[in-house]
Amino acid sequence: MSGLYAMGMILLPDAAHCVKCGLCLAECPTYALTGSESQSPRGRIALIQALDRGQLSPDRHGANLLDGCLLCRRCEKVCPSGVPFGALMDRGRSRLRPFLPMMEKFLAGVLSRPWLGRLLLASGKLLPNRAGAGYLAAQASLKMPKYRESYRPAAQSVGRVGLFRGCTSALLDAETLEAAVLLLAQAGFEVIVPAAQQCCGALDAHAGNAPRAAALMLANERAFTDSPPLDAIVSVASGCGAQLNDYASLPAPHEDVCSFLAREEVLPRLRFRPLKQNLAVHLPCSLVNVVGQEQAVLRLLGRVPQLRIHEIGQRGSCCGAGGTASILRPGVARALRRPLMKEISELGPDCVVSSNVSCRLHLAQADEQGGRRYLHPLVLLAQQLIRE
């Protein structure tokens, strides 16, 4: 079973891979803000080791140090020793779950259940006075999108893919899921959307609720296994994609939807109308550091004639969204977002795209007066698609 979900496993062997070289320090957003070793990857690993050896007892201070990590996993990408930092953090947080903030556990419980999240968010009753929550509520709708279990291709079928719809995407980003179905069908694929699929489990795993994360993993594996045979399973949110990559036994390979559409044998089937605009492209840390398929986004957008593409931010760095971190730790989230917003303001693009819903909402919240659209790349591509 994946390290993200394994229960009762000893943490020391994985943590021992860290040689405390410090190469991760320059890459860590929370260390850059605080300069504190306790807010660095190797400091957090040392804390996990001390907990595992019984040298420290679980308490609220330790929980705060681990919970301050945004899980961008930039440190994991640059680590020469291959330390599985994401797995260590989730398992460490599971040991400290009694001391993690109640609000984090509440948000995980609400947002991972779309019917409950839709009810509370759309009615504006989810922490309307807390930073970020009011904006989040404004993006939700009481109308529950209805998905068929199967969408036929636009022309002759060349294959079949499963679409993972997720929880926050279904709640806050239905237009991206609709765009994914349209593009996949236009490329010749039958699209299967299993009704029994659930949240990917990332919110619960990061909130230390390993048993529920494991249960959601098993439910999703069953849902896609019970589907017709699939060539691939695709996801639209890179945060979900990072979690799906750690599943134990999906019946088909998982791939980010942009990566799938950018395949050499798929991309020629898609043609787009020209769009004479300046486009800012934000590549989320989950897409760069974990999923590792960021070039596909640029390749797809490059197929739109006359579109001027500008990548913003340092590739692989965190914008501050961190799932629910923009609500839980708004000061840190705003500080990490500030350079990106300055860059967007100076560039003055017509539109900004990002492949992760929490990143996109976090950026859009700071630019409500800018008049720009903040979209998933698929939405822009679907709008320009030439339908056969």
Tens of each residue's pLDDT in the chain, 388 residues: 344 444 445 567 888 899 999 999 999 999 999 999 999 999 999 999 999 888 999 999 999 999 999 999 999 999 999 999 999 999 899 999 999 999 899 888 888 887 777 777 666 555 445 555 556 655 666 666 788 999 999 888 999 999 999 887 777 788 999 999 999 999 999 999 999 999 999 999 999 999 999 999 999 999 999 999 999 999 999 999 999 999 989 999 999 999 999 999 999 999 999 999 999 999 999 999 999 989 999 999 999 999 999 999 999 899 999 888 888 899 999 999 999 999 999 999 999 999 999 899 899 989 877 789 999 999 999 999 999 7
Among 49, 73, 99, the domain boundary falls at: 99
Q: Is residue 277 part of a domain?
A: yes
Q: Please list, in sequence order, all residues whose beta carbon lies within 8 angstroms of the beta carbon of residue 296, skipping any fewer than 6 positions away.
A: 256, 258, 259, 261, 262
Q: In the listed set 49, 76, 99, which residue is the last one of a domain according to the structure?
A: 99
- Residue 278's H or E segment, with its range, is strand 278-282
Q: Is the residue at 355 inside a domain?
A: yes
In a domain, 367, yes or no: yes
Q: What is the CATH number of the domain that holds 334?
A: 3.40.50
For residue 348, give its domain range: 271-384
Query: In this structure, is residue 5 part of a structural domain?
Result: no
Structural domain total, the chain: 2
Whole-number pLDDT of residue 18: 92
How much is the pTM? 0.91
Of the candidates 140, 138, 136, 148, the one whose C-alpha atom is nearest the C-alpha of residue 114 is 140
CATH of the domain at 48: 1.10.1060.10
Comparing C-alpha atoms, which of 320, 347, 260 is closest to residue 71?
Answer: 320
User: 161 phi and psi, to 5 degrees?
Assistant: -125, 150
Instruction: Please give the pLDDT value at position 231.
Output: 97
Task: Please choose, from the candidates 140, 137, 169, the residue with its C-alpha nearest in 3D space to the C-alpha of residue 378.
Answer: 169
Helix axes 85-95, 210-225, angle to 10 degrees: 130
Closest to 304 in 3D by CA, of 183, 385, 236, 376: 385
Helices (H) and strands (E) in the chain, counts: 21, 9
Domain boundary among 63, 80, 99: 99
Residue 33 included in any domain: yes
Indicate whether 1 belongs to any domain: no
- For the chain, helix, strand, coil in percent to 5 are 50, 10, 40
Quick check: is 81 in a domain? yes
Is residue 264, in this structure, part of any structural domain at all? no
Helices marked H in 226-254: 238-244
